[in-house]
Amino acid sequence: MGFRKLLGLGTLAAFSGAALPLPALAQAAPASGRPEIKFTTTDAFSMADIPAYKGDNRDIYAHIEKNKAAHIANLQRWVRQRSISAQNDGVREMAELAAADFRKIGFQEVEVVPTGGHPGVFAYYNAGAKKTLVVYMMLDVQPVEPEDWKVPPFEGAIVEDHPLGRVLMARGATNTKGPERAFLNTIESIIAVRGKLPVNLMIVAESEEELGSPHYPEIIAKYADRLKAAAGSIYPGGGQSPADGAVSMQLGNKGILYVELEAKGNPTTGGPQKAEIHSSWKATTDAPAWRLTQALATLTSPDGNTINIPGYYDRIRQPSEEEQRLFNGTLAGWEKRQLTVRKGFSIDHWYDGMEARQSLSRYLFDTTLNIDGIATGYDGPGMKTILPHRAYAKLDSRLVPDQTPDEMLALMRKHLDAKGFADIEIRKLSGYPASQTSVSAPLVRAVLGTYNKYGLTVDVSPRSGGSRPSYVFTQTLGLPDVTLAIGHGADAHAPNEYLVIDPKPGSKIFSLTQMEGFYADVLYALAATK
């Protein structure tokens, strides 16, 4: 849900383990209200079609290597500044620290941006270049449970004996102060060596990613006219597989509608209104828990896999030729990877026993309706005999392009009303549409060309099955939007979060200085596009 949290299929590369044999199919595919997903081309996208970036930036790499100790110290300085947005702990101080860094690096325009919540930071570096690149940053981090950590989470410890090598272990090391400050190290080295950057930069940072980015659209809106003129937006964040150094790129995200449905006793429909009552009164009394259950059950087929809300699938368009080519290009990898994914999740088979083609097309091109939680009454051990006065469920629906959260919400409301469940309240907690970036965008080609320079295995997918509000870049601003998935860190929301600084010999993971060199290549590759 977080703004930049879900790396979608890309994160799957982190799973390892032998492939499982395909399980016997337990269920025949039922007649389905889900739209059939049709393919009209067998052409497949190939990384071989993208020319490798060939620029020579060895002078910059050398500067980065020479200043490695100072660069590491910069990362440590950032992770040492607490910035837990959920607890309002150090958040403003972090914004001020970032703003001071931007000024020191040479950004001519730096502003701490007030919002309805925590402040953001806008920074503009005018290189007098033809192209401008928008850089997304998040300055906040998740809360910590210090007692679960091997090292103090805000000490910025360098741990030498991590299984993957020498790492920075701290809250924010990989999510995402580490890669962000590494990107700034790159900027400093380029300016030191070349005098100025090859592109103009607009950093648009927020301090509420871990809260679901509720005010990020405010920050974007303030600078929208200037941001729209950019060549695209990037997000520096590590995502290499520790097994083979492979990376992935998702050219879009699903949107989301997140709602709570609640049934409660009320004067019209009956039921207790203030508190649970003794369950013997079910003999005479309407029960909100049954109302909610019955209402929920109307939303899907008995197997829970087809949405029965009229019109819910109507907006789903067939995959475009580009999406099909990307799909065809990624299918072979998915055929193997899905077994690893299922093993990691302890899932014996996908629903209806779907094979790779069907499961990948559902994952990329279909909408979902999922129960995140249901709560009513007593859930402790043993027995309690009560008739609860309220019952609620949390549901999320992943949206594909052309579905909008408000239209889907209206369809759900209309359906419940038509089925006699006008008493069920629907509360929208979040909603935003899908995003999409074309693989032919110059920024995308520049990033893929840079991956090709290093001979990296890249899985390019038309989108992630996960959601993030990258529509603010692709729809609000009309920009191509790309995450830079180089380097490796993990345990983003867990204890002992880390970013690899120096991987063990033989590893395919990029070191910190290689990450920084890669970022330089991307900026020059973008500058070189027409």
| Stretch near a copy of itself under the rule CB under 8 A, chosen from 194-202, 278-286, 317-325, 492-500 | 278-286
Shortest approach of a copy of itself to residue 401 CB, angstroms?
15
Tokens encoding 349: 């088979």
Q: Which of 32, 88, 109, 378 binds a copy of itself (CB under 8 A)?
A: 378
505 binds a copy of itself (CB under 8 A): no
Q: Of the two residues 171 and 468, which places its CB atom closer to a copy of itself in the complex? A: 468
Site for a copy of itself in 227-256 (CB under 8 A): 254, 256
Q: Which is nearer to a copy of itself, 118 or 131 (CB)?
A: 118
Q: Is position 287 an interface residue for a copy of itself (rule: CB under 8 A)?
A: yes
One residue of 112, 129, 158, 429 binding a copy of itself per CB under 8 A: 429
Q: Does 384 bind a copy of itself (CB under 8 A)?
A: yes
Residues 302-341 that bind a copy of itself (CB under 8 A): 302-305
Indicate left, alpha or beta for 237 from its phi (over 0: left) and psi (-120 to 50: alpha). Answer: beta
Is residue 87 at the binding interface for a copy of itself, with CB under 8 A as the rule?
no
What three-state secondary structure class fits 498? strand
282 binds a copy of itself (CB under 8 A): yes
CA 98, CA 524: separation in Å to the nearest integer? Answer: 24
Q: Out of 8, 117, 156, 172, which residue is the one contacting a copy of itself (CB under 8 A)? A: 8
Q: Which stretch binds a copy of itself (CB under 8 A): 128-136, 190-198, 375-383, 433-441?
A: 375-383
Contact in structure between 179 and 237 (CB atoms under 8 Å):
yes
Distance CA 11, CA 516 (A): 21
As measured in angstroms, the least distance from the Cβ of 490 to a copy of itself is 15
Best CA proximity match to 482, nearest among 224, 200, 249: 249
Out of 115, 294, 320, 328, name the contact with a copy of itself by CB under 8 A.
294
Torsion of CA 59, 235, 248, 317, to 10 degrees: -140
Classify strands 481-484 and 232-236 as parallel, antiparallel or unpaired.
parallel
For residue 49, give the DSSP letter: G
Q: Judged by CB under 8 A, which of 17, 23, 143, 146 binds a copy of itself?
A: 23
Q: How many residues bind a copy of itself (CB under 8 A)?
A: 88
Q: Minimum distance from CB of 274 to a copy of itself (Å)?
A: 4
Identify which of 452, 530, 472 has the alpha carbon closest to the alpha carbon of residue 247. Answer: 452
Cis, peptide link before residue 176, omega less than 30° from 0 = yes
Sheet of 232-236: strand order equals 109-113, 120-125, 200-206, 132-138, 232-236, 481-484
Length of the chain: 530
Residue 269 CB, shortest distance to a copy of itself, in Å, is 6
Q: Which whole-number Å values give the CA distances from 7 to 3, 10, 88, 90, in the listed order?
A: 10, 5, 26, 27
